[in-house]
Homo-oligomer: A and B are copies of this chain.
Amino acid sequence: MISTKGRYALRVMLDLAENAQNGPVPLKDIAERQEISKKYLEILVRDLVKGKMIKGSSGKGGGYMLCRAPESYNVGEIIEQMEGPLNTVACLAEEAAECPRAGRCLTLPLWREYDNLVHDFFYQKKLTDLLAQTKH
């Protein structure tokens, strides 16, 4: 299940993409537009900064900006930045030890197929694909 961290962060990224023309976007404005507590957004935004997806500038006239062109972001990398690797099943996690039953497990191929499906879905979606819905 995609958590609020990932969902809200995606909305922040979209908000930044939409409001970039006037320079840095203050978090206060994002919080108001998105109707999300500014305090909570601070946490999410910190993770995005750490992951070099956005950058912040302090002081009056400060705020946040995207680091790259909007069309270069995909949804998968944003979600993974917030929630960690997009693992759908514990067996397939990077940290997981190789399961001793892997060779004879009837369900493993299913999980692999599912994992690929989800991964591809989110990595093929660009940030701008979501933006495009408004301007038809």
Contact = CB atoms under 8 A, between A and B. Distances in A.
Interface size class of A (residues with CB under 8 A): 20 to 34
A106 B133 contact: yes
A106 B121 contact: no
A102 interface: no
Contacts of A75: 110
Contact of A1 (B11, B89, B134): B89
Contacts of A110: 10, 75, 125, 130
Interface of A: 1-2, 4, 7, 10-11, 14, 35, 75, 87-91, 101, 105-107, 109-111, 114, 117-118, 121-122, 125, 130-131, 133-134
